[in-house]
Amino acid sequence: MTIWTPIDDGYADLSNHDSFLAGPPENTFKRLRDHEPLSWTAFAGGAGFWNLVRHGDVFSHNRDFRGLTSARGIRMEDQTEEEYLARRTFQETDPPEHTKVRMRVAKAFSKPVIAGFETRIRELCDEILDVALAKPELDAAHEIARQLPMRLLGQIIGVPNEDLDWLVSKGDELIANTDPEYTEHVLDKADTEAFRLMPFRSPAGAELYQYAEDLITSKREAGEDTGVLGMILEPDEDGNVMPKHEFQNFFCLLVAAGNDTTRYSISASLHALANKPELHEQLYAGDDALWETAPDELIRWASPTRYFRRTATRDLTLHGKTIREGDKVLLWFVSGNRDERMFENPYAIDLRRHPNRHVAFGQGGPHVCLGMWLAKLEIRLLLQEFVKRVARVEQNGEHEYLRGNFVGGIKRLPVRVALR
C-alpha cells in the first residue's frame, strides 16, 4: 500500500490531534480495517472510545440511531448534561425530535433552492480567482479554498460584505479549536473551562451568538429580506417558531459546517491538480457526465469530516466484541472512504467513479449533510472556473494540514500557476 502519511507506522493514536498532522493516518486505518474492524482507543482527555472503520459498518451503524445516539455529543470529548443542553443543535438530537427541526430547515438547503444560486456562486468564484490568480505564486488553500465557502454562506444568509472576513476567522476559531494557528484556546492544551457552555467550547461561539441576533433584528427592523435565516425562523405547521437559543446554536452550526469542510475539499482538489496534471487535463476537457461525478469523487478523496461520534444506548456485539451501553463509538468516514471492500483502487482519484457510495456526508444516517448540494455545487463551479483560466498548476512548497482529528485538511498549499 502507498505510504500517504510518513509519520504513521500503522499504530497511530486516533485520539491525538497530532496523529493527523500529515493527513489522516492511512496506514493505521488500513491495518484496522483489515485486522481489527472494531477497536478500542484509550483517551487521555476522557473516556476511551470504539472505532468503526469499514465502509459497511460505518454506513449501517450510522443508520441505527436507536442503538447509537447523537444526543450525547458528536465529538470524542465528553460533555456534562449541562454542557450538552447549552451547546446542542439539532445535530445532537435523534429522530423524531431531530426530524422536526430538520424539516424546518431542509427546504432552504434543498437541491432546487441551491441550484438557484449557481450564477451568484460563479460570480463569486470569478471575483476570488481574479484576485488570487493575479500573482503567479500563491497559497491556494488560503487565497482560493478559504475564501469561497464563507463568502458564499455570508451571501446566502445576507451578511454584509464588510463582515465576511470577520465571519471567516470566527468560523475558523470555532471549529479549528485544536490548531494553535486559529485559536488561542486550543482544546487539548489550554484551560477552556470558562467556555464550556459555548458551542465547540470556544469563546467565538458567544460572539457569533450575538452577531446572529443583531443581524436578524436589523434586517427585520429595516424591512429587508431575511433570506434563508427568515425561512428557518418561519413558524412550522403547528405555529411553533424555533426558540432563540436554538436559532443561535443553528447559526453557529452553519458557520462551522459551511466553512471548513468545503474549504478542505477544495484545497484537496487543488492539491490533486497540482500533483497530477492529468486530472487537470481531464477536468478541462470534461463533459457534463464528468462534472456530474467529479465533485463526489473529490469529496471522497478529501473526506474532511474525519469522524462523527455516537453513544451506544444498549449493548451491541460486533466482530466478536461487546460495545457496552454508554460507550462512545466513532464512525470514521475517512476510513470508510478508503475501504477496498467498497471502492476499487480507493487511493486513486477516478473522476468518473460511478457509483460512488462514499460516506463523506454521513450518508446512511438521519444527519446526512444538509449542505451537500451546496458543497458539491461550490466545488464544481470553482474547479470549472479554475481550469478555464489556469493552463498549469504545480506545487512549489510544502503543504500543511490543520492540526485536528475531527474536521481537517490542507490549510497551506503553495502553488505556481500558468494562465491560459
Establish if 365 lies at the interface with ligand HEM (CB under 6 A): yes
**Among residues 24, 37, 203, 258, the one that binds ligand HEM under rule CB under 6 A:** 258
Q: Which three cell numbers stand for residue 199?
A: 458551542
Per CB under 6 A, 70 contacts ligand HEM: yes
Contact 359, 62 (CB under 8 A): yes
Q: Find the binder of ligand HEM among 265, 269, 356, 405 (CB under 6 A).
A: 265
- The one among 114, 133, 138, 375 contacting ligand HEM by CB under 6 A: 375
* Nearest 10 degrees: Cα torsion 247, 236, 117, 273: 60
CB-wise, 363 or 396, nearer to ligand HEM? 363
- Per-residue string for binding with ligand HEM, 322-341, x by CB under 6 A? -----------x--------
Residue nearest to ligand HEM (CB): 371
Q: Which residues contact 161 (CB under 8 A, 6 or more apart)?
A: 154
Enter the DSSP assignment of 144: I
Long-range contacts of 156-161 (CB under 8 A, 24+ apart): 156/117, 156/227, 156/228, 156/374, 157/215, 157/227, 157/228, 157/229, 157/254, 158/215, 158/219, 158/224, 158/225, 158/226, 158/227, 158/228, 158/229, 159/215
Q: Taking the complex as a whole, how short is the minimal distance between the CB of residue 259 and ligand HEM, in angstroms? A: 8
User: Looking at beta carbons only, is 10 or 86 nearer to ligand HEM?
Assistant: 86
Select 109 or 195, whichever has its Cβ closest to ligand HEM: 109
Q: Which of 360, 390, 393, 415 binds ligand HEM (CB under 6 A)?
A: 360
Question: Rule CB under 6 A: is residue 150 a binding residue for ligand HEM?
Answer: no
C-alpha cell at 5: 502519511
Closest CB 6 distance from ligand HEM, rounded Å: 25
Whether 32 contacts 53, CB under 8 Å: yes
Q: Which is nearer to ligand HEM, 195 or 406 (CB)?
A: 406
- Maximum Cα interatomic distance, the chain, rounded to a whole number of Å: 62
Total residues interacting with ligand HEM, rule: CB under 6 A: 28
Helices 204-221, 164-175: inter-axial angle, 10-degree rounding: 140
Helix (H) or strand (E) holding 322: strand 321-323
Asked if residue 363 lies in contact with residue 56, where contact means CB atoms within 8 angstroms, the answer is: no
C-beta closer to ligand HEM: residue 182 or 308: 308
Q: Residue 275 has which C-alpha cell? A: 500533483
Which residue of 369, 377, 383, 390 would you call a contact of ligand HEM, by CB under 6 A? Answer: 369
- 361 binding ligand HEM? (CB under 6 A): yes
Residue 301 C-beta: closest distance to ligand HEM, Å: 11
Residue 254 binds to ligand HEM (criterion: CB under 6 A): yes
Pairing relationship of beta strands 49-52 and 328-331 according to DSSP bridges: parallel
Q: Does 211 bind ligand HEM (CB under 6 A)?
A: no
Closest by alpha carbon to 7, among 268, 18, 15, 17? 18
* Binding string, residues 96-115; x marks residues near ligand HEM by CB under 6 A: ------x-------------
Q: In 3-state terms, what secondary structure has residue 176? A: coil
Coil/strand/helix, residue 95: coil
3-state secondary structure 279-303: HHHHHHCCCHHHHHHHHHHHHHHHC
Q: Which of 170, 367, 399, 411 binds ligand HEM (CB under 6 A)?
A: 367
Nearer CB in complex with ligand HEM: 186/232: 232
Q: What is the nearest approach in angstroms of ligand HEM to the Cβ of residue 310?
A: 8
- Which residues on neighbouring strands pair with residue 417, listed in sequence order? 393
Q: Residues 6 or more apart from 111 whose CB is under 8 A from it?
A: 373
Nearer Cβ to ligand HEM, position 102 or 104?
102
Nearer to ligand HEM, 153 or 383 (CB): 153
Contact positions with ligand HEM (CB under 6 A) in 17-56: none
Stretch that binds ligand HEM, among 35-43, 132-140, 190-198, 301-309 (CB under 6 A): 301-309
Question: Which of 247/361 has CB closer to ligand HEM?
Answer: 361
Q: Which residues bind ligand HEM (CB under 6 A)?
A: 70, 74, 90-91, 102, 153, 253-254, 257-258, 261-262, 265, 299, 304-305, 308, 333, 360-362, 365, 367, 369-371, 374-375
